[in-house]
Amino acid sequence: MLDEGERMHRVLVIGGSDAGIGAALRARELAPDSAVTVVVADAYPNYSVCGIPFYVSGEVPDWHSLAHRSVAEIEREGIQLSLDHVAEEIDPAAHSVNVRDAAGSQRELAYDRLIIATGAVPVEPPIGGLDLPGVYKIHTMDDSLRVERAVTAERPSSAAIIGAGYIGLEMADALTRRGVKVTLLVRGGGVFRKAVDASLGQAIEAELLRHGVEVIKDVQVDAIRRDGSALVVSGTPDKKWRAEMVLCVAGVRPNAALAERAGVEIGIQGAIRVNLRMETNLPHVYAAGDCVETWQRVTQDYGYIPLGTTAHKQGRIAGENAVGGRREFAGVVGTQVVKVFDLAVARTGLREAEAVAAGFDPFSVELPAWDHKAYYPDAHELLMRITGDRRSGRLLGAQIVGHWQGQVAKRIDIFACALFHGMSVEALNDLDLSYTPPLGSPWDAVQLGAQAWARAHRSMGL
């Protein structure tokens, strides 16, 4: 419910991606008399950045379809869009924001409530040559259009990708589908190592190799230089790789500089500090999305987890509270999934090392399980890793790798729901899950994993 006494008529949102547009839509939905303006740094409001690799791959042929809503659809909701406008300074005392348009003209926008949804920016590691022609980052729609144009027009035969996180893996898939020979340069000892444990990472690496992607581990890239028509990537140990294009996708960091200059308190990894109502320390100023800290339900603490699903939820809450609501963010359990060629890779909750760092006493079990009854054609084997607390039996986390048609996302969501409600591993067996031989088993793979964990737990006298 809205507090009529708190309702303000001028809501200004900085940022036009998931959190920003979500906030604007919610504000207009609950307070249709409010004047909502969204300042968008580019010309692509409410585009799915997560869909960029699938446009580059050709699986999504028209980049316009990546828009969750068109400009016209957003404006029909009564939202004013200031496209190609950059917010330069926030004056919290005057309740105004200085913005600059593409022509360089500046003006002041007044607000009663401000929502900062500036998202994240790519991490730029200390590598010489990142500004060379043929070197790309993948973060915005403009980035994706540049890469797609280069692949289409120049038809490169080879590419080096620096980084093996979500975007690195998805772009390795995308470029391979376009006929480009990909070399994946991994800083650590395994791919996707911040998301899943080593054994599941090995399954991902095997899938990459099966599709012709060369995986180079334990390399620290230090420079990129041009040699004729090729780019040469050099790193430690003393090695060099030649490629016709290079992608640097080394992760993201919060885009919080604008907020910090205005006096907004900054927390973990440089993210904006907010409470569960998405309020900052400044009166009448909210923040949401990839620029803010996120409350984690399992650890009961804040962390930095930039995800689109989280940004949508936080933006909706910020928009509601900006027009007089009292809603709180329920927190996340860190649920993520990515498709890599024919594999789906998913995780939720804590890995064992993360659980130890959070003060738990974790115990993990790893096992294979069929996605449906093996006698029905095209059954796929899933590799699961389940982590629970030794003392309490509480579920702490799960990881799954399997065929992308093996309902991996559905099953990680079951674990996520259990984590959200603080269930024990054993309690998963009480869930009334669906079953038919083409799609599952009487005991779903999730429950078979729970039973394997419980047996191992008992066998150790725990």
Strand order in 336-340's β-sheet?
336-340, 343-349, 395-403, 381-389, 362-370
Q: Is 138 exposed, middle or buried (0-12, 13-18, 19+ CB in 10 A)?
A: buried
Beta strand pairing call for 10-14 and 35-39: parallel
- Torsion of Cα atoms, 108 then 112 then 116 then 117, to 10°: -100
Q: For residue 37, what are its two tokens?
A: 């303006």
Query: Active site residue: 50, 248, 291, 417, which one?
Result: 50
Q: For residue 325, what are its two tokens?
A: 């609501």
Give residue 9's identity as a one-letter amino acid code: H
- Residue environment code for 391-416, b if the CB has 16+ CB neighbours within 10 A, otherwise e: eebbbbbbbbbbbbebbbebbbbbbb
* DSSP conformation class of 47: B
Residue 50 annotated among the catalytic residues of the structure: yes
| Sequence-ordered list of residues with C-beta below 8 angstroms from that of 112, at least 6 positions apart, any chain | 8, 9, 10, 11, 95, 284
Q: For residue 332, what are its two tokens?
A: 């996340």
Instruction: Name the H helices within 257-361.
Output: 257-261, 308-322, 352-357
CB 429 within 8 A of CB 447: yes
Q: CA-to-CA distance for 151 and 43, rounded, in angstroms?
A: 23
Residue 124 phi/psi, 5-degree rounding, is -110, 100
CB 21 within 8 A of CB 73: no
Q: CA-to-CA distance for 296 and 357, rounded, in angstroms?
A: 14
Catalytic residues, by residue number, are 50
